[in-house]
Amino acid sequence: MEKRIKIHYITGLVTAALVLLLGLSLAISAAVIYFGGTEQPYSRETVGEYLKYVLPFGILCILAVISGIVIKFVFPLEKSKLLPQSDEFRALKRQRARLEKKNAEALSDERILKESLYRKKISIALLAVLSILGIAALLVALLGNYDAALINESVIRVALTVFAVALIGGACAYVAKIYMAASARREAEIIKELLNSCESLESSSAAEEKVDRKPLYMNIARASIFALAVVFIVIGIFNGGMADVLGKAVRICTECIGLG
């Protein structure tokens, strides 16, 4: 079995080296062509010429990959032989570290209070953001009553865009708030755990007492965001947004693909 591990290891290293060489040769070829000094460095002939130098690395790479596949089937490895890197080992290691951390930082009143204060601050921040967005939306609505000649049309459009983003942001913030409220239930569970641990040191399986509550409010939030998305799509179809997407998608975007 040790021999098999060695074969796998060497195959892996050789393949890694070839992959790196292939990548390097491709990148260097592109750089050499570009910095070649001519006005129009790239042409089919020039690229073809440099690809001839890269081709051997490519072939060797493919051969290494194929041999890796063959070795995997011909000399299969048992997972237990790789114990130090196995998932089970890493899981145990992590669990041990967490238990040690948990013991060091006991479930204290201070911690619960800290978490509670943190959640309150988040909630206040979210409410503040929502209020600012609401005021901004009001201003945008009022701006529409001004003489169009005085206000740059594009500024109004940008403001409307910001409003749309604000609406989405507000919806997400509201959903986040709901989720935060849901996680606040954990507070009660932590207190429950504390009580349990005080009553019996052996009943550490607080997991058995955790209740899986179905978040109905989560489904309501999902449905609301879904409905908002559909409304936006319908508005977008009528205001030309969909046609814009088509107009861009049916032309080769030379910038997007690096031509230029």
Partner 1 sequence: MEKNLKPKLTFKRRLIQLYAALLTNANIKGFATGSIFKGNSKNACVPGLNCYSCPGAVGACPLGSLQNALASSGKTVPYYMFGIMLLYCITFGRWICGFLCPFGLIQDLLHKIKTPKLKKSRVTRILSYFKYVLLVLFVVIIPLAYMFKDMPLPAFCKYICPAGTLGGAISLLIHPANTGMFEMLGPLFTWKFALMISILVGCVFIYRLFCRFICPLGALYGIFNKISILGIKLEKNKCIDCGLCHAKCKVDIKHVGDHECISCGECISVCPTKAISWKGSKIILPENEIPEAATEEEKTVITKKREKRVFILRLVAAVLMVSTLAGALVYYNFIYEEPEISTDIGTGDFNVEDFRGKVVVINFWGTWCSGCKKELPAFNKVASDYADKDVVVVTVHTSGTEGWEEPEVYIDKNLKGSKMLFVRDVRVEGAAYDTYYTALGGPGTYPMTLILDDKGVVNYTTVAELDYESLAAEVEKALAKDTSGIDTDNLFEGYVVGDLCPSMDLEYIELIE
Long-range contacts of 48-54 (CB under 8 A, 24+ apart): 53/25, 53/29, 54/22, 54/25, 54/26, 54/29
Instruction: Pick between residue 146 and residue 217 the one whose CB is nearest to partner 1.
Output: 217
Buried b (16+ CB within 10 A) or exposed e, 63-82: ebeeeeeebeeeeeeeeeee
CA distance 192 to 210: 9
Q: Scanning the structure block, which residue is given the tokens 């390097």?
A: 24
Contacts of 60 (CB under 8 A, 6+ apart): 18, 22
Q: Between 9 and 146, whose beta carbon lies closer to partner 1?
A: 9
Q: Shortest distance, CB of residue 118 to partner 1, whole angstroms?
A: 17
**Taking Cα atoms as reference points, which of 188, 4, 161 lies closest to residue 79?**
4
Least distance to partner 1 from the beta carbon of 75, Å? 12
CB of 32 to partner 1, least distance (A): 10
Least separation in angstroms between CB 146 and partner 1: 18
Which CB sits closer to partner 1, 131 or 219?
A: 219
CB of 158 to partner 1, least distance (A): 6
Nearer to partner 1, 4 or 236 (CB): 236
Of residues 30 and 112, the one with the C-beta less far from partner 1: 30
Q: How far is the CB of 15 from partner 1 (least distance, A)?
A: 5
Q: Which of 172-182 are b and which e, b meaning 16 or more Cβ less than 10 Å from the residue's Cβ?
A: ebebebeeeee
- Give the CA distances from residue 88 to residues 28, 78, 94, 257, in Å, rounded to whole numbers and listed in that order: 42, 14, 10, 44
